[in-house]
Structure 1
Amino acid sequence: MRALIVTTPVPTHFMPLVPLGWALRAAGHEVLVAGQPDIMTAVRSAGLGGVSVGDWFRVGERMRGALKDGERAIDAFGRPEPVTEFPQIWVDHSDSVLPDYLELARSFRPDVVVSDAIECNALILGGTLGIPVVQYRWGVDPLSGPLRAAARTALEDRCERLGLDGLPDPALLLDPCPPGLQLPGAEPGTPIRYVPYNGGGTTPPGLERAPRDGLRRVVVSLGVRTLALNGVPHVRRILHAFDGLDGTEALVTVEERYRDEIGPVPDQVRMIDPTPLNLLLRHCAAVVHHGGSGTAMTATSFGLPQLVLPQLADQFAHGDQLSAAGAAISLDTAADQDDPELLATSLKTLLTDDAPRESARRLARHMARMPSPTDVAADLARSV
């Protein structure tokens, strides 16, 4: 079987698909990833074959360009309104890459197309070639169903030109959320176990072991764009919330270029280079993060309570659902995220109360019982 993986041009949108790609490869199937240059480093790091299509998309630059001077992401974007229109940026994106995707697909002749859950080009590819499309949710999913509905109108004429009656639905929608975590109104999906993969890398020296003297280790991972989109003061406030939190060691992933501006931090805070999150959490007691799906799902798979500080898009949904499940505290306004006392109190609650820890472990147990990517790959091969 040949599988063509197509994703939106954001590396973190591609990474959840990697374990399924590995499972297909291990079963002897041919796997090829097609995407814009933005994801090619991530493709190579995952050990999968890829073809670069089109120009750079540079989502980070686009987001920074939308901010006014001094404006933060949570102020500019914040909790999103329900999706009713397919954004013009994705219509333009389809126009720019779909012809090349079609040419590549006709040459590669896949038996199945696999994509993330908002890549509508994959649905057009599958419909045009007459093959099934498998879409993979990143996690808690408020976006894919409404976006697909809006895309039917926005891309209708493009589908007609290719001989399609309209934008097809996916043949299979894979859902890595354990029972009780997905949004109640979300379209039902087929369960697949979330296998943590946050990119290639190595564990910093000493962090492969449990912290000394029974210290509670907390990892602060705010995503690849939080500093660029929210500025240093936001991150500095989070780090200073650890001041006076006895018996705690905070590991914070921060690029070297920001550290001088952040300035002195509490003694129990250690800044380290960006590191794949799955390499840091084995000896961890809690995670502080921005609500990104990869971070939220990885922390959930390790059974860890979470302090969620969402900034935009589906990050709020991850905070909401993890909080509703009892496994997290979500501070979803700029005022709350800037309140040092509230940050410190929330951290202390996650580290000392049994309820969040037990709820997080329950979610992890449910996740571990879901069908593995190997199982799903085998089912997929039998069905195409």
Structure 2
Amino acid sequence: MRVLMMSTPVPTHFAPLVPLAWGLRAAGAEVLVTAQPDVMPMVRTAGLVGAPVGQELDGDQHLLSFLTEGRRPLECFTRFPPQEMGFYGRVWMDQARANVHTYLELARQWRPQLIVADQVEYASLLLGGVLGIPVVHHRWGVDPISDLALRDARTELADLAEDLGLDGLPMPTETLDPCPPSLQLPTTSQGKPIRHVPFNGFGEPPTWRTRSQKRRVVVTLGTRTLQLNGVPHVRRVLQASAQVPDTEIIATVIPDYWQELGPMPPEVQLVPPTPLHLFIDSCDAMVHHSGSSTMLTAATAGLPQLALPQWSDQFALGEQLQAAGAGITLDDVTRQDNPTLIRDSVQQLLDQPQYHTAAKALGQEIAAMPTPAEVAQDLLQKL
């Protein structure tokens, strides 16, 4: 079977699909990934074949243009109420409109029998409708967006669907959900479970993986956090976390920002971005920006987590993590800018056993979900 995988032009939107792509390849399927050029480095890193389509979006630069100088997203954007989260699908509707005809040309040449795409890649639905083949959407994790955004897309893209000879924007044939059921929002439609298998890029086991007798906390706030005026925020989090007694801090930071961050306490070790799965089992807790893949990677390892969301679906993710008892979320500027509160939150995660118990239960729930290899076999047999 030929499978066309598609992604919106954000590399982290494609990362959750990579283990399924490997499963499909191992099961004998031909897999071609098509997306805007932004995603192609991730495709190559994953050892997959990619066909770039359209122009690079550079979403970080696009988002930066909306920020007041020197302020991060949390300081600039209003948090949308749950019923308005479909707003975050708008930009991807525009991308579908801009690129669907080029995607169709590629698909007609390659003749896929199945399309797999991330949760807001709407050109995939149009291609599936025109070609008469099934389309599977793959969520990122905790999902307050895709149901509402798909509802809006069916209205916004109705004219485009009609131009392509369709009665309307088709629905996905199936939706895969890597979020453990106990963590998913109760308002989100049910999807087919698929276990999160961490894919954080490539690398080698770090030489610093063996730790001292101290407890270890990994702080990984994401490249985008730094690029979107987040250097003062990252500096504050690292300095506050370093105040926790008997604890060492491993901070994954692009080296380009090390000098700008300035001198760090001796408890903080700055390291280049390193695949989390190569060292996460040497850690006792994680501090992060509330990104889906990062959170699920920590959950897979059974780590308590401190979530510091900045925008979009990150708030819902932090809230669900806290509701599950596996973490703490600080979701507003006042609390995130309070070093004492950050320090105390990290210390609670390390000292209070209920966080470790809940985090391990979450990891066990993930381990019981069907693997990407099993889901791949099922898709190829049924669709």
TM-score, structure 2 normalization: 0.97
The alpha carbon displacement at 1:325 in A equals 0.2
Does the residue aligned with 2:228 lie in a helix, a strand or coil? Answer: helix
Matches of 1:280 and 1:62 in 2, distance apart?
33
2: CA distance, partners of 1:61 / 1:310: 19
8 A Cα contact 1:137 1:176, kept in partner? yes
Deviation at 1:223, TM superposition (A): 1.0
Indicate the SS of the match to 1:252. Answer: strand
How far the C-alpha of 1:247 sits from its partner, in A, is 1.7
d(CA) in 2 for partners of 1:77 and 1:202?
38
Distance 1:200 1:85 in 2: 33
Residue 342 of structure 1: aligned partner:
341
Equivalent-residue separation in structure 2 for 1:334 and 1:341 (angstroms)? 14
Q: How far is the alpha carbon of 1:146 from its aligned partner?
A: 0.5
Separation of aligned partners in 1, 2:112 and 2:243: 57
The question of 1:94 aligning with 2:96 is answered yes
Residue number in structure 2 paired with 1:369: 368
Give the Cα separation in 1 of the matches to 2:78 and 2:370: 34
Deviations 1:294-315 (A, max 9, x none): 1011111111000000000111
Which residue type is aligned with residue 128 of structure 2? G
Where 1:141 maps in the other structure, the secondary structure is coil
1:10 — aligned with what? 10
1:68 is matched with 68
2:195 corresponds to 1:196: no
Query: Are the aligned partners of 1:219 and 1:280 in contact in 2 as well (CA < 8 Å)?
Result: no
**In structure 2, what is the Cα distance between the partners aligned to 1:365 and 1:63?**
37
1:22 equivalent to 2:12? Answer no
AA paired with 2:47? Answer: G
Off by >4 Å, runs of 4+ in structure 1: 84-88
Q: CA RMSD in A?
A: 1.3
The 2-side partners of 1:376 and 1:55 are apart by 32
**CA distance in 2: counterparts of 1:151 and 1:183, whole angstroms:** 21
Find the counterpart in structure 2 of residue 39 from structure 1: 39
The 10-residue stretch of structure 1 (94-103 or 31-40) with the greater mean CA deviation from structure 2: 94-103
Which residue of structure 2 lines up, in the alignment, with residue 355 of structure 1? Answer: 354
Determine which of 180, 183, 189 is the counterpart of 1:181: 183
Aligned residues: 381
Match in the other structure for 1:118: 120
Residues of 2 paired with 1:177 and 1:231: CA distance? 28
- In structure 2, the partner of 1:144 is 146
> How far has the Cα of 1:84 moved from its partner?
5.0
What is the aligned-residue identity percentage? 50
Give the letter for the 2:278 counterpart: L
Aligned mates of 2:325, 2:161 — CA distance in 1: 44
Which residue matches 1:320? 319
**Is residue 218–residue 284 contact of structure 1 (8 Å, CA) maintained in 2?**
yes
Q: Is the 8 A contact 2:23 2:373 kept in 1?
A: yes
Give the conservation status (yes or no) of the 8 Å contact 2:86–2:147: no
Unaligned runs of 5+ in 1: none
Name the SS for the 1:218 alignment partner. strand
Classify the secondary structure of the residue corresponding to 2:61: helix
1:88/1:243 CA distance change after superposition, 3 Å: closer
C-alpha change, 1:67 and 1:40, in structure 2 (3 Å) is same
For residues 83-134 of structure 1, what are the alpha-carbon distances to aligned partners after superposition, in whole Å with 9 as ceiling and x for unaligned?
3557653343122211111011111111110001111111111111111111
Give the drift of 1:259. 1.5
SS in 1 for 2:218: strand
Aligned ranges 1:288-307 → 2 under 5 Å: 288-307=287-306
The structure-2 alpha-carbon separation of the partners of 1:305 and 1:86, relative to structure 1 and needing over 3 Å to count, comes to closer
Report the 3-state secondary structure (helix = DSSP H, G, I; strand = E; otherwise coil) of the residue aligned with 2:282.
Answer: coil
Query: With structure 1 as the length reference, what TM-score do the two structures score?
Result: 0.97
Contact preservation (8 Å) 1:86, 1:150: no
- What's 2:247 paired with? 248
Higher mean alpha-carbon deviation, 35-44 vs 196-205, is at 196-205
Q: Cα distance 1:200–1:325, how it changes in 2: closer, same or farther (>3 A)?
A: same
How much has 1:187 moved relative to structure 2?
0.6
Stretch moving more, 276-285 or 183-192: 276-285
> Secondary structure in 1 aligned to 2:263?
coil
Q: Secondary structure at the match of 1:62?
A: helix
Shift of 1:71: 2.1
Of 139-148 and 227-236, the range deviating more from structure 2:
227-236
Structure 1 range deviating more: 29-38 or 95-104? 95-104
Rounded to whole Å, the distance in 2 between the matches of 1:2 and 1:267 is: 53
- 1:79 touches 1:311 (CA, 8 Å); kept in 2? no
Q: Tell me, in whole angstroms, the C-alpha distance in 2 between the residues paired with 1:279 and 1:119.
A: 30
2:55 corresponds in structure 1 to 55
Contact 1:85 1:151 in 2 (8 A): no
Counterpart amino acid of residue 299 in structure 1: A
CA drift at 1:242: 2.6
Write the mapping of 1:164-179 to structure 2, written as runs, cut at 5 A. Answer: 164-179=166-181
Contact 1:135/1:170 (8 A) holds in 2 = yes
Q: CA deviation at 1:230?
A: 3.3
What letter is aligned with 1:377? Answer: A
Aligned to 1:104: 106
1:221 alignment partner AA: T
Contact 1:310 1:332 in 2 (8 A): yes
Q: Relative to structure 2, which stretch is displaced further, 73-82 or 286-295?
A: 73-82
Q: Please give the secondary structure, in 1, of the residue aligned with 2:281.
A: coil
Q: State the match for 1:77 in structure 2.
A: 77
Deviates further, 302-311 or 268-277: 268-277
SS at 1:371's partner residue? coil
Q: Which amino acid is 1:382 matched to?
A: Q
- Aligned-pair CA distance for 1:352: 0.7
| SS of residue matched to 1:274 | coil
After the TM superposition, which residues 267-278 of structure 1 pair with which residues of structure 2 at under 5 Å, given as runs? 267-278=266-277
